[in-house]
Structure 1
């Protein structure tokens, strides 16, 4: 039985992008159900039909339901151990999980001030000191990972991993909001933007016609 991933609009739903990227990048077959976000009670009830959290994404594997992006990626790593979703080296795996958890629980200022919106014309905006500190920290994380694993491949830990999936929406944010980045960070962003799964998500998001006003007003 194929897995089913319930997600929100690809234009807006950064949390949905993360497990979707992991599934696609590692070639794990799945069915996709898109439920538009913030469009009314009917769609909210549809989400509740899959998960009582009332939020997306949610992964359905037979009688098992997993919600929350990072929990889904961890489940996939257990369910498909040969995919090597996390680095095989124990130290690198611990590092990858740590920065993924940091993404999962932090960087609130950046998220709030630079919302995911693929339709937004590229351009800078005034950011708070807290958001600027978030940007500095993310660049530090990416640069450190690339320095450690430059000889193993172009992603954070050489090969594509769950950590790259967790940071994929940030690549969009940096691009859309014209964030000034260092050359190593730009190189990593170019790698991610050339990734087949990343491009597929982006193209689908740009093709969406539903606009949610609350996300279109800055």
Structure 2
């Protein structure tokens, strides 16, 4: 079932709880009339990080940089869980659009993603294949068991419905996964793929 703004919040980790707490503070500031603002809940962001800087930037950047070096890529389980990946340029345009349309977004929260979910296997294979086209090194994908102490977040599928934000602002993402990965490489290296 797609996740939209009406899905009940059920944080699974302390990180989720901290983000939700920040949202509550922001919404209270808006209710008090101190500020105008909205909340954008982002899908898995990728793009824009340089090799060595992707540690805290998201799994897809790490996978892509490892694949460019021909290193093995690990997938927990069989890779069938779904994720939505959004390019950093689309995130930036969403923030600008939220501000430009504050009369429609103020005090609300929105789901921001590409609007398309990919299996983890499909996303990682896409990154590996593009890296192979670029550098000629073919990374091996290894399937491993989920860690015993793994997060419940790792064992679920996520499908985002971005129609509410699109209706409020007219915004749409420019990149799907393959075009976004290629765009990221071109921006960093000045080379077309």
Give the alignment's TM-score, normalised by structure 2.
0.24
Bigger radius of gyration among the two = 2
Question: By percentage of residues, which structure has more strand?
Answer: 2
- Richer in helix (by share): 1
Greater relative contact order (Cα < 8 A, sep 6+):
2
Length-normalised TM-score, structure 1: 0.22
